[in-house]
Amino acid sequence: MKSGGREKARAVVRAAAGIAVEVLMTALLMAVVFLAGWAILHWFRT
């Protein structure tokens, strides 16, 4: 594989990792925000 091709492959792998991180972080952030909201609600109730 030529160096240009290797560079492209590296960029694609980096982008794929970025997409995976984005999706996971989105799910995680949503879960954290929901649980924090739920905890605030319980704290107010008690």
Partner 1 sequence: MILRPRLRDIRIIGYQLGRIVVGVGLLMLLPLLTGLLFRETVPVLDYLIGMGACLSAGYLLRIVFHTREEPTWTHGLTVAALSWLAAALLSAIPLLLSGHFASYLDAFFEAMSGYATTGLSLAVDLDHLAHAHNMWRHFIMYVGGQGIIVVALTFLLRGSGAFTFYVGEARDERIFPNVRHTARFIWLVSLVYLALGASALFLAGLRLGLAPVRAFLHGLWIFMAAWDTGGFAPQSQNILYYHSFGYELITISVMFLGALNFKLHYAVWTGNRREIFRNIEVAVLCVSILFTFAVCAAGLSRLGVYPGAVALFRKGFYQVISGHVGTGYSTIYPRQFVREWGGLAMVAVIAAMAVGGCACSTAGGMKALRLGILFKALAQDIKRLLFPPSAVVLETFTWRSISRERGRGCSPDIRRSRRFSNRSRRQPTLGSPAGSRRFPCRPL
- Chain contacts with partner 1 (rule: CB under 8 A): 11, 14-15, 17-19, 21-23, 25-27, 29-30, 32-34, 36-38, 40-41, 44-45
Q: Please state, in angstroms and rounded to a whole number, the distance separating the CA atoms of residues 35 and 29.
A: 10
- Under 8 Å between Cβ of 25 and 32: no
Residue 37 CB, nearest approach to partner 1 (Å): 4
Residue 25 CB, nearest approach to partner 1 (Å): 5
- Nearer CB in complex with partner 1: 2/36: 36
- Under 8 Å between Cβ of 1 and 9: yes
Q: Which of helix, strand or coil describes residue 2?
A: coil
